Amino acid sequence: MTTLKAGDKAPVFSGTDQDGKTHKLADYAGKKVVVFFYPKASTPGCTAEACDLRDNFERFKANNYELLGVSADSQKAQSKFKDKYELPFPLIADEDKSVINAFGVWGPKKFMGKEYDGIHRTTFVINEKGIIEEVIENVKTKEHAAQILK
């Protein structure tokens, strides 16, 4: 899957959030950025993950982190997800998978014996200089904030 690792320069990306606003890595210079990729808005695992990050949002802000969620869902789906769960961070609607592919998180998956291509739940912690500090591939959806804010 992803070939990116700690110490690599983060991919330069541009994505549009649930409200049509564009987000680029350059917008976050001087801040730490958590870019978390999730398979599908409003599914149980993705909801647990997003809500855990929401519930710890003040801790992230206090430590100079910005959060960006990314999935291949439409702007409408991302907007409903954000509103329903009162998520305080932007959700990128990456329907063309440009951000997903830049980070290398799209690929073969297996579920209930069936193989298909999809997003691998992966989180990238990027430092103030745009360098990846950590890649979390074994995401614990209900304790994800603790995995990041060690």
Q: Annotated catalytic, 51?
A: no
Confirm if 20 and 75 have CB atoms less than 8 A apart: yes
- Phi and psi at 63, nearest 5°, equal -105, 20
Confirm if 89 and 51 have CB atoms less than 8 A apart: no
What residue type is 32 in one-letter code?
Answer: K
Q: What is the C-alpha separation between 68 and 47, in angstroms, rounded?
A: 15
- Residue of 106, 82, 104 lying closest to 93 (CA atoms): 82
Q: Select which of 46, 93, 132, 145 is catalytic.
A: 46
* Pairing relationship of beta strands 122-126 and 132-136 according to DSSP bridges: antiparallel
Rg (CA), the chain: 14
- Phi and psi at 133, nearest 5°, equal -90, -35
Catalytic (active-site) positions: 46
